Structure 1
Amino acid sequence: MSPPPPLGRSRKRASHVFDAALDDAELVAARAALAQGRWTEVRELLAATGDDWDRRGHRCDVLAREPSTTAWIRDWRLAEPESADAAVLLAHAAVHRALRGKERSEKARTACREAAARVPADPTPWLALLLLERSLGHEEDVVRLFDEVRHRHPEHHHAHYLMLARLAERRPGAGQDPLHEVYDFATWAAEQVPAHSPLAVLPVVAHAERYRVLATAGSESHDPLASGHWSSRRARQVMKASFDWWLEWETPGGAPAGTAHPRAFVDLNFLAHATHCEGRSAEAAALFHRIGRYATEAPWSYPDRDPHEAYTAARAAALGTA
Structure 2
Amino acid sequence: MPPPPPPLGRGRRRAAQSFDEALDDAELVTARAALAQGRWQQTRSLLVHTGDDWDRRGHRITVLAAESYCAAWARDWLLAEPESADAAVLLALAQVRSALRGKEKPARAREACHRAAGLVPADPTPWLGLLLLECAQGADGDVVRLFEQVRTRHPDHHHAHHLMVAWLAERRVDAGRDPLHEVYDFAGWAAEQAPADSPLAVLPVIAHAERYRALAAAGHEPADPAASGHWADRRARQVMKAAFDWWLEWEHEDHPRRLIDLNFLAHAKVCEGRGAEAAALFHRIGEHATPAPWSYPDRDPLTAFRTARATVLGAS
User: For the superposition of Structure 1 and Structure 2, which TM-score range results when normalised by the shorter chain?
Assistant: 0.7 to 0.9
Query: What do the CA deviations read for 1:159-215 (whole angstroms, capped 9, x no partner)?
Result: 000001111111111111111111011000000011110000100011111111111
1:193 pairs with 2:194: yes
Give the 3 Å change call, closer, same or farther, for CA 243–212 of structure 1 in structure 2: same
SS at match of 1:235: helix
Give the 3 Å change call, closer, same or farther, for CA 224–57 of structure 1 in structure 2: same
* Aligned pairs (5 A) from 1:1-322: 13=14, 16-251=17-252, 253-255=253-255, 260=257, 267-285=261-279, 286-287=281-282, 290-292=286-288, 303-305=296-298, 307=300
Q: Could you tell which deviates more after superposition, 108-117 or 270-279?
A: 270-279
Q: Given that residues 190 and 200 in structure 1 are in contact (C-alpha distance below 8 angstroms), is that contact kept between their aligned partners in structure 2?
A: yes
Letter paired with 1:79: A
- Tell me the distance in 1 between the aligned counterparts of 2:263 and 2:85: 34
- Tell me the distance in 2 between the aligned counterparts of 1:183 and 1:37: 44
Q: Could you tell which deviates more after superposition, 119-128 or 13-22?
A: 13-22
Query: What do the CA deviations read for 1:2-23 (whole angstroms, capped 9, x no partner)?
Result: xxxxxxxxxx946742111111
Q: Could you tell which deviates more after superposition, 236-245 or 198-207?
A: 236-245
Q: Given that residues 268 and 287 in structure 1 are in contact (C-alpha distance below 8 angstroms), is that contact kept between their aligned partners in structure 2?
A: no
Give the 3 Å change call, closer, same or farther, for CA 291–55 of structure 1 in structure 2: farther
- Tell me the distance in 2 between the aligned counterparts of 1:29 and 1:202: 31
Alignment TM-score, normalising by the size of structure 1? 0.83
CA-CA distance at 1:278 after TM superposition: 2.1
- Tell me the distance in 2 between the aligned counterparts of 1:78 and 1:283: 56
CA-CA distance at 1:237 after TM superposition: 1.0
Q: Given that residues 189 and 199 in structure 1 are in contact (C-alpha distance below 8 angstroms), is that contact kept between their aligned partners in structure 2?
A: yes
Total equivalences in the alignment: 286
Structure number with higher relative contact order (C-alpha < 8 Å, ≥ 6 residues apart):
1
Q: Could you tell which deviates more after superposition, 212-221 or 195-204?
A: 212-221
CA-CA distance at 1:280 after TM superposition: 3.1
SS at match of 2:230: helix
Give the 3 Å change call, closer, same or farther, for CA 163–13 of structure 1 in structure 2: same
Query: What do the CA deviations read for 1:196-253 (whole angstroms, capped 9, x no partner)?
Result: 10000100011111111111222211101101111111111111111221222233x2
Q: 2:3 maps to what in 1? A: none
- Tell me the distance in 2 between the aligned counterparts of 1:290 and 1:109: 42
CA-CA distance at 1:283 after TM superposition: 4.4
Q: Given that residues 63 and 69 in structure 1 are in contact (C-alpha distance below 8 angstroms), is that contact kept between their aligned partners in structure 2?
A: yes
Q: Given that residues 196 and 254 in structure 1 are in contact (C-alpha distance below 8 angstroms), is that contact kept between their aligned partners in structure 2?
A: no
Give the 3 Å change call, closer, same or farther, for CA 183–24 of structure 1 in structure 2: same
CA-CA distance at 1:75 after TM superposition: 0.9
CA-CA distance at 1:140 after TM superposition: 0.7
Q: Given that residues 23 and 289 in structure 2 are in contact (C-alpha distance below 8 angstroms), is that contact kept between their aligned partners in structure 1?
A: no
CA-CA distance at 1:282 after TM superposition: 4.7
- Tell me the distance in 2 between the aligned counterparts of 1:22 and 1:287: 20
- Tell me the distance in 1 between the aligned counterparts of 2:239 and 2:286: 21
CA-CA distance at 1:269 after TM superposition: 2.7
Give the 3 Å change call, closer, same or farther, for CA 150–83 of structure 1 in structure 2: same
Q: Given that residues 172 and 214 in structure 1 are in contact (C-alpha distance below 8 angstroms), is that contact kept between their aligned partners in structure 2?
A: yes
Q: Where in structure 2 are there 5+ consecutive unaligned residues?
A: 1-12, 305-316
Q: Given that residues 172 and 213 in structure 1 are in contact (C-alpha distance below 8 angstroms), is that contact kept between their aligned partners in structure 2?
A: yes
Q: Given that residues 230 and 277 in structure 1 are in contact (C-alpha distance below 8 angstroms), is that contact kept between their aligned partners in structure 2?
A: yes
- Tell me the distance in 2 between the aligned counterparts of 1:115 and 1:283: 47
- Tell me the distance in 2 between the aligned counterparts of 1:66 and 1:157: 22
Give the 3 Å change call, closer, same or farther, for CA 143–290 of structure 1 in structure 2: farther
Q: Given that residues 205 and 243 in structure 2 are in contact (C-alpha distance below 8 angstroms), is that contact kept between their aligned partners in structure 1?
A: yes
RMSD: 2.3
Q: 1:297 maps to what in 2? A: none
- Tell me the distance in 1 between the aligned counterparts of 2:202 and 2:22: 21
Q: 1:318 maps to what in 2? A: none
Q: Given that residues 70 and 90 in structure 1 are in contact (C-alpha distance below 8 angstroms), is that contact kept between their aligned partners in structure 2?
A: yes
